[in-house]
Each structure stands twice: as structure tokens, then as C-alpha cells.
């Protein structure tokens, strides 16, 4: 049986994809991308906040420098919010696809990346 966390993650991804198709259809789908951070500091912040401080941070490089990436605002991901959960998800997903990131930036690369080392 799926865990509540797995179901929550699935709901987020369904929401992200539906909103992307509605407001930013030319952006790459999260379902077809590699996720990355802009800096080591940002990767550590993400790991500490969303992965309980666990996990290896990999250093990567893109194999196609002409492939545009998407800079998404991941800072809205929180269990601390006012109002209904569905509204929070929808507003956050719109921000993710349409606004300049304010805090935690998530990069989406729709192309292969090469792992060049571990931090």
C-alpha cells in the first residue's frame, strides 16, 4: 500500500503537471527532467529542509549547454500554510512555473546530466 507521503507526492506532481500544461505549456515537464540545485549551498538547504539532512549531493554538468532549464520557486513547499490544501497546491504550482524564484530554486533540466563527483 502507498504511504500517505507517497500519495502526497503524487498529488503534488499531478498538480504541477496540470498547472504547467495550463499556464506554461512550453516549459519542460517535471516528469521528463533531472532536478538540480544552482549551488552547493542551495543543495544543502534543500537536503536539510526536505530530506531530513540525509542523502548524497552529486556534482553534475550538462551534456547539452544549449538546452534551456527551468528555474522553479520551490520555497512554497511547506506544511505551514493558511487555507485549504488544494488551493495552496494550486497557487504554489502557478508560482513555480510563472514567477522568478525568491528563495529555494529548483532547476529542471530536460536533458541528460553527467555526474562528475560527490560532495
Q: pLDDT of 24-53, one tens digit each?
A: 999 999 999 999 999 999 999 989 988 899
- Report the alpha-carbon angle 18-94-6, nearest 5: 55
pLDDT score recorded for residue 99 = 93
Which residue matches cell numbers 502557478?
Answer: 94
Q: What percent of the chain has pLDDT over 90?
A: 50
Q: What's the whole-number mean pLDDT along residues 61-72?
A: 85
d(CA 50, CA 68): 26
Q: Tell me if 37 sits within 8 A of 108, measured CB to CB.
A: no
Q: How far is CA 17 from the centre of its chain?
A: 12
11 lies in which domain range?
Answer: 4-118
Q: How many domains does the chain have?
A: 1
- Kindly report the pTM of this predicted structure: 0.82
pLDDT band for position 92 (cuts 50, 70, 90)? confident
Amino acid at each position: 500500500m502507498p504511504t500517505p507521503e507517497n500519495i502526497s507526492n503524487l498529488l503534488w506532481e499531478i498538480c504541477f503537471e496540470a498547472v504547467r500544461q495550463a499556464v506554461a505549456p512550453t516549459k519542460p515537464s517535471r516528469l521528463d527532467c533531472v532536478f538540480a540545485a544552482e549551488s552547493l549551498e542551495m543543495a544543502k538547504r534543500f537536503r536539510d529542509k526536505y530530506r531530513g539532512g540525509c542523502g548524497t549531493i552529486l556534482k553534475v554538468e550538462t551534456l547539452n549547454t544549449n538546452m534551456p532549464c527551468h528555474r522553479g520557486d520551490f520555497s512554497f513547499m511547506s506544511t505551514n500554510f493558511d487555507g485549504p490544501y488544494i488551493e495552496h497546491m494550486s497557487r504554489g504550482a502557478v508560482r513555480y512555473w510563472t514567477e522568478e524564484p525568491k528563495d529555494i530554486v529548483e532547476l529542471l533540466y530536460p536533458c541528460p546530466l553527467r555526474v562528475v563527483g560527490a560532495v
